[in-house]
Structure 1
Amino acid sequence: MKPVLEYLPKDAEESFVVKSFEYTYYPTPWHFHPEYEIVLVTESTGKRFIGNNISNFQPGNLALIGPNLPHLYRNDVPYYEPNTDLRAKSIVVHFSENSFGHIFSSMPEAKQIKELFRKSVQGLEITGNTNKKASELLFELLELSGFARAIKLLEILQLLAASADCHFISGGGLTGINEKESERMHKVLDFLMKNFANDISRTEVAKVANMSDNAFSRYFSQRTRKTFAQYLNDLRLSHASKLLVSGEKNISEICYECGFNNVSNFNRQFKLHYGISPLAYSKTYWDKVG
């Protein structure tokens, strides 16, 4: 089976993605992505497929997965039973070397981390005291934002790079690049980026992917871990956050420019996503820089 492409979108002010996920079972199929991934299982058990390796996972399982290395976390049978109270939780970080500009190519001090990246193409299992410390840092990472968050990720990477507790998972030479899959997803994301401010429907975007509505709905949610409506809403809010800190438009102008049909809905959606109102978001930014 060919792996599918997964895409975790970043917010406007992010250079990498940090997410805490909770499901009844992990939904993502056999997949790949061009980013590096750190994944910490915080709750649930099952089988982990990384490259050509199959092993068990349980809470505390921690891995660094290199770019385009196909992988799948499949929960044990009870997680798929109707009305189960079991939960599958994880902390996931997606990043690329470009997330840090030219730091890894220009700094001799980054030599260990560059070697860590080279090894990660086979996947790395993190065990022992390094697992314990890195797990603690990942929980801290979830609570941070801005430059402090980037520094914390570098701290985690340096910890892994200097440790002897990182062990190869898969054999070498296996990658999951699927050109047809990548091209289709690129068309969809490009269309959304160009048209998110318009009144676009799932049916319209499904046609871009040359798929039926229902097939596209499953396709999109498996690859982005969001429904189409959630992704479109987040894309609009991300653009709104950029406009708010530019200081060039008022709340009403930003609302309609980002594709929302009324200001009250925009305010409600923005507060749900960012925890504060658009006006407070703008004021907080200008208070910091002013």
Structure 2
Amino acid sequence: MNNIIKEITPLTHKDCFSIFSREKKSFDFPVHFHEEFELNLIINGAGAKRIVGDHEEEISDIELVLVGPNLSHGWQTYHCKSDSVTEVTIQWHKNLFEDRFLKKNQMILLREMLERSARGILFSEDTAVALSAQLMALNDLKGFTAVMELINILHELSIAENARTLSRVALDNNQILNPNSRRIDKAFEYMNANYQKQITLKELAQLISMTDVSFSRFISKRTGNTFVDTLNEIRLAHATRMLIETNMPIADISVNCGFNNISNFNRIFKKKKFCTPKEFRENFCGTSVFI
């Protein structure tokens, strides 16, 4: 677990899903997990290594993988020699489809696929090729139309043949770190709703009825990070979204995300993202859409 990080995605409770597409030369994001479902299409990435749960495998030229909430996953450059890899990543909340909806007769195959994704699902190359154009075209759709197209794509995947389960076991990293997650979820919800403000350890401790010292130990044990590092991760998730979606000056983004000064923001951003906010914005090549 020490080498696996929990990612706080920029997806907010008001979004249905996000789609991020880009061209890149290498796979440099570490193995990670997050609360959201993720559907990942990779084209021209032959030789890269796929890691999903306890599974590792070298990939072919095109692949499409569905990863369930809190399942560790990542891709590494490994033997990949391509200098132009296309990657399309779609993420949606784990409660986008309510349980009562998924229990309807017509939703049986979709429900089974989402449940199976707890171990990761690799779809056949034929399926990846057949749906690649639809996945990339999601960037151009808006609102309700985009949501309906995502549902249509998920339906097509649920009836696709020759899909393969990847991890031998379902590894819920959030439960490994957070066996009693109700309190930590409440703390995360508060930080996500108030990240622009100055938040103290004391007010969060009071929120979940703990002493300051107990809460400090509690959040470190449950997340692997200190309170300050956890809050900064949440603020950085919102900051990266602003850097991608807006032309807002970096100093204003810093203030709007709760950092006390631009120097501190730059330092923390570079430590976590391995580049400055300015470099991130300049080097960003791709599109990110939130529906």
Q: Scaled by the length of structure 1, what TM-score is found? A: 0.61
Structure 2 letter corresponding to 1:179 = L
Question: What is the CA deviation profile of residues 19-42 of structure 1, one whole-angstrom value per residue up to 9, with x for unaligned ones?
Answer: 114444333222112222110113
Q: Given the superposition, is the C-alpha separation of residues 8 and 192 from structure 1 closer, same or farther in structure 2, using an over 3 Å criterion?
A: closer
Say whether residues 1:48 and 2:50 are aligned partners.
Answer: yes
Structure 2 letter corresponding to 1:6 = E
Structure 2 letter corresponding to 1:193 = A
**Equivalent in the alignment of 1:285:** none
Equivalent pair of 1:26/1:88 in contact (CA under 8 Å): no
| Pairing 1:40-189 to 2, within 5 Å after superposition | 40-44=41-45, 45-76=47-78, 86-101=83-98, 104-105=101-102, 107-177=104-174, 178-179=176-177
Equivalent pair of 2:10/2:238 in contact (CA under 8 Å): no
| Cα deviation, residue 68, structure 1 | 2.0
Q: Given the superposition, is the C-alpha separation of residues 18 and 186 from structure 1 closer, same or farther in structure 2, using an over 3 Å criterion?
A: farther
| Cα deviation, residue 104, structure 1 | 3.0
Work out the CA distance in 1 between the residues paired with 2:245 and 2:186. 18
Runs of 4+ off more than 6 Å: 180-186, 234-237
| Cα deviation, residue 230, structure 1 | 2.8
**Equivalent in the alignment of 1:25:** 26
In structure 2, runs of 5+ residues without a counterpart are 200-215, 220-224, 247-251, 258-280, 282-291
* SS in structure 2 of the partner of residue 8 of structure 1: coil
Equivalent pair of 1:104/1:111 in contact (CA under 8 Å): no
Q: Scaled by the length of structure 2, what TM-score is found? A: 0.61
Superposed CA RMSD in Å reads 4.1
| Cα deviation, residue 114, structure 1 | 0.5
**Equivalent in the alignment of 1:4:** 5
Give the length in aligned residue pairs.
222
* SS in structure 1 of the partner of residue 106 of structure 2: helix
In structure 1, runs of 5+ residues without a counterpart are 80-84, 201-206, 238-254, 261-271, 273-290
* SS in structure 1 of the partner of residue 132 of structure 2: helix
Work out the CA distance in 1 between the residues paired with 2:80 and 2:122. 26
Work out the CA distance in 2 between the residues paired with 1:234 and 1:187. 26
Work out the CA distance in 2 between the residues paired with 1:113 and 1:134. 16
* SS in structure 2 of the partner of residue 138 of structure 1: helix
